[in-house]
């Protein structure tokens, strides 16, 4: 995948990965009206025989996917992240509980979705899917990594939820570096020993910008793309806690239960160090531009810088 100046949205990577699977007759793509948005429309155009469109009916979609899976197919089902939540109990009881391999993708996740407003801005999806036994939970940062991780899911033997984002962002991966991605393993983009910034999704770019700002004042940060929220790369987190002594998480999601919550649980059980969590602070979003919302909600690179300084100060107490 080349890198046009406009960058890439992770949903485009999802669509590109589905397209690469058209020759695999085990793969079935399932949609609930929003294929043009989630980008499953690309697969549908190439292989309508293996695309099941189910209208605006997410609950039905979850179990149709489960039925196909138990009959030998590998279903990739998608809608908006927020609307997957309408079928949460279907995912819980109909997919995760019997451990049926369905790959669910929720696009337009987070407040970065922007002007559609709070009804469309899922800020709790990572948290709720993370609570389900058997589920893998993934949130890639750009189109290149989303494509690589989606292709990896084809051979993944447990159900998964992948959140993608609506908007194009600057790419953090090349085709070569994305090739190294593994589900369940955080990817280190930058190393430093003063603080570790663990980010996912569109917040990876804010984290990388924050690291540059911190470096100017002599603070060197490690920046990790924690694209897999579950299973969490606890070995890496423990290692970073020991090496850096201070950690910041950054996610376009509620600070309750998502990446920040998962990292907090890991630290408390393994190697407690000061942690600052950047994300949505227990409130809903509203209509606005993506950057406006990030700024209003305290999720810009400058906020990560401040959080890193706070975490370092606390670690010295």
Cβ nearer to another protein, comparing 90 with 301: 90
Buried/exposed code over 153-175 (b: 16+ C-beta within 10 A; e: otherwise): bbebebbbbbbbbbbbbbbbbee
| Site stretch for another protein (CB under 8 A), options 5-13, 70-78, 167-175, 209-217 | 70-78
Answer whether 241's CB lies under 8 Å from 247's CB.
yes
Q: Give the pair of three-digit tokens for residue 302.
A: 């400058």
Site for another protein (CB under 8 A): which residue of 70, 115, 281, 313? 70
The dihedral built from the CA positions of residue 308, 311, 316 and 317, taken in this order, carries a sign that is positive
Nearer to another protein, 158 or 302 (CB): 158
Residue 105: CB minimum distance to another protein, A: 17
Q: Which stretch binds another protein (CB under 8 A): 6-14, 91-99, 116-124, 246-254?
A: 91-99
How far is residue 140's CA from residue 15's CA, in Å, rounded to a whole number? 13
Strand order across the 74-80 sheet: 51-53, 27-31, 74-80, 103-107, 160-163, 136-138, 228-230
Asked if 5 touches another protein (CB under 8 A), the answer is no
Are 43 and 64 in contact by the 8 Å Cβ rule? The answer is no
d(CA 68, CA 102): 9
Which of these is catalytic: 31, 46, 58, 124?
58
Contact pattern for another protein over residues 275 through 314, marking x by CB under 8 A: ----------------------------------------
Residue appearing with tokens 């399932």:
30
Structure tokens at 34: 């929003």
Please report whether residue 91 would count as binding another protein according to CB under 8 A: no
176 is catalytic: no
In the shown chain, the binding pattern of residues 188 to 227 toward another protein, with x for contact by CB under 8 A and - for none, equals ----------------------------------------
Binding mask 32-61 for another protein (x = CB under 8 A): -----------------xx-x-xx-x-xxx
Catalytic center residues: 58
Residues forming the site for another protein (CB under 8 A): 25, 28, 49-50, 52, 54-55, 57, 59-73, 75, 89-90, 93-94, 97-99
């Amino acid at each position: 995948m080349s890198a046009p100046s406009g960058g890439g949205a992770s949903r485009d990577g999802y669509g590109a990965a589905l397209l690469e699977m058209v020759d695999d007759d085990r793969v079935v793509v399932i949609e609930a009206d929003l294929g043009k948005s989630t980008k499953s429309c690309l697969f549908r155009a190439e292989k309508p025989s293996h695309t099941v469109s189910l209208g605006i009916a997410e609950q039905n979609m979850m179990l149709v996917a489960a039925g196909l899976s138990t009959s030998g197919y590998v279903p990739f089902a998608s809608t908006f992240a927020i609307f997957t939540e309408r079928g949460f109990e279907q995912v819980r009881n109909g997919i995760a509980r019997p451990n049926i391999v369905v790959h669910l993708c929720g696009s337009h996740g987070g407040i970065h979705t922007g002007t559609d407003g709070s009804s469309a801005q899922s800020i709790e999806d990572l948290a709720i899917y993370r609570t389900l036994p058997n589920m893998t939970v993934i949130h890639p940062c750009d189109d290149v990594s989303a494509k690589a991780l989606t292709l990896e899911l084809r051979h993944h033997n447990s159900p998964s939820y992948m959140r993608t984002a609506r908007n194009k962002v600057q790419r953090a991966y090349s085709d070569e570096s994305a090739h190294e991605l593994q589900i369940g393993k955080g990817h280190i983009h930058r190393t430093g020993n003063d603080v570790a910034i663990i980010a996912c999704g569109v917040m990876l770019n804010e984290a990388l910008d924050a690291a540059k700002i911190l470096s100017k004042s002599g603070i060197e940060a490690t920046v990790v793309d924690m694209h897999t929220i579950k299973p969490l790369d606890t070995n890496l987190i423990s290692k970073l806690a020991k090496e850096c002594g201070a950690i910041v998480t950054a996610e376009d999601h509620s600070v309750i239960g998502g990446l920040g919550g998962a990292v907090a649980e890991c630290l408390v059980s393994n190697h407690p160090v000061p942690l600052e969590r950047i994300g949505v602070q227990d409130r809903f979003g509203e209509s606005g531009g993506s950057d406006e919302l990030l700024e209003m909600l305290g999720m810009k690179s400058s906020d990560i810088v401040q959080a890193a300084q706070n975490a370092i100060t606390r670690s010295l107490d």
